[in-house]
Amino acid sequence: MDLRDRLAEAAREHGVPGAAVAVWHDGRLHEAATGVVNTATGVETTTDSVFQVGSTTKVWTAALVMQLVEDGLAELDKPVGEYLPDFAFGGVTVRQLLTHTAGFDGDVFEDTGRGDDCLDKFLVHLRTAGHVHEPGELFSYCNAGYCVLGALVAKLRGGTWEQALRERLLTPLGATHAALFGEEAVLFRASAGHVGPDAAVYPGWQMPRSNAPAGSTMCLAPRELVAFGRALAAGGLAPNGTRLLSEESVAAMLTPQVHVPGGGGALSDRWGLGVELFDWGAFGHDGGTPGQSTFWRVVPESDFFIAMSGNGGSFFGLMADVARPVIEEATALMVPAEPLPPEAPKPVDGTPYAGLYTGPQLGYEVAAAGDGLDVTLIPGPLMESMGAARTTTRYVHLDGESFIAIEAEGGRHDVVTFVMRDGKAAYLHNGRAVARA
């Protein structure tokens, strides 16, 4: 398997400063790395390098929650307020948090400090969060919900989320290249994020601890994600023989719970308890922080596992040129291609979709156009810090209530889906439900 050459060539082609990949196949671990972890220092990327894995962390948080369920400390269908009285949306259930169906604003990134009480303070801050939809009504990706789950773990375990993660997952798994704080990451070849067309080093490496259970701080070498995937595929039994989860808990995590409108765009079209489920035979989760991205897939029937991280440029290019062909060659499965705009778009009446849609971190202005919709992205401060600007893009009809961008960005054509109510769009959905203003 020529992983090194493939990775190096794809990274050069797509402007990725540094990347690493780990693959378990045919009973062996294959690893490769290329480039640098930081263009300002020139430190070489190796297979020991750790990257911020972003929202891939959510599967680890979900596993900690399932351990609570196993130990009789929590129930999936009980209101969260019974465990966390300070939580403003206490009527939602643990299951609804795990499945991104709780209904409150998800992109809340308030920094409540580095203290062990940061999640308690975050719960208080959520009293200002907006209501998006009724609990259980639909899927809307919710980072804040996983912060609440982290607070649940901390409260019921009597410590911090980080302590629980180390004691109950990382250490039993045998993970050696993992960091949960900046002062831990400096002990490794830690990757920096690179943003914008000139791949500048992102200055805010240390993200808020309050968002750690959702993915703001966890750093891993790709091999650690492969080992975690092997544990899940083995019904909760780690490669070293240590049981992390019961078979029943893993089965529950991998049982479809909710459908994502329009197939989710960049997300899977089905979700389990914290896990993305792919119709072609895999499960996993992707992740991103400013300038860093992670791809993680488990193909249990083929005993195949892959994790790949990069630190800037077009990470989608790495996925298309490295991950996808490697998966297909190793498993003989066909990974569905990304959607493309139709050559002859079907004319549609854009009136039901036109309007302003707003969320806590971004907004959209949608206007009817002759052959589709003009969608204007209104980025918030966080997106602007990563180089995003107000832009207008033409979308044409794809199918159903879904529309696809004519122009590709980073090699991918964005897809948005409108959730209709009484013949009019109530939400623009791109993995998140952004409500009509």
Reference 396, options 335, 338, 353; nearest CA is 353
Neighbours of 376 (CB within 10 A): 14
Residues forming beta bridges with residue 404, ordered by sequence position:
396, 415
55 is catalytic: yes
Beta-carbon count within 10 A of 338 CB:
17
DSSP state, 23?
E
Chain centre distance of CA 55: 4
State how far the Cα of 153 lies from the Cα of 169, in Å rounded to an integer: 13
Count of residues making up the chain: 437
* CB-CB contact of 16 with 312 (8 Å): yes
User: Catalytic pick from 55, 210, 216, 293?
Assistant: 55
How many Cβ atoms are within 10 Å of 24's Cβ, its own excluded?
Answer: 23
Q: Are 254 and 264 in contact (CB under 8 A)?
A: no
**What is the CA 305 to chain-centroid distance, rounded?**
17
The Cβ-side half-sphere exposure at 372, using a 13 Å CA radius, reads 24
Question: What single letter denotes the amino acid at residue 124?
Answer: V
Radius of gyration of the chain (CA): 21
Report the alpha-carbon distance of residue 348 to residue 370 in Å, rounded: 9
Residues annotated catalytic, as ranges: 55
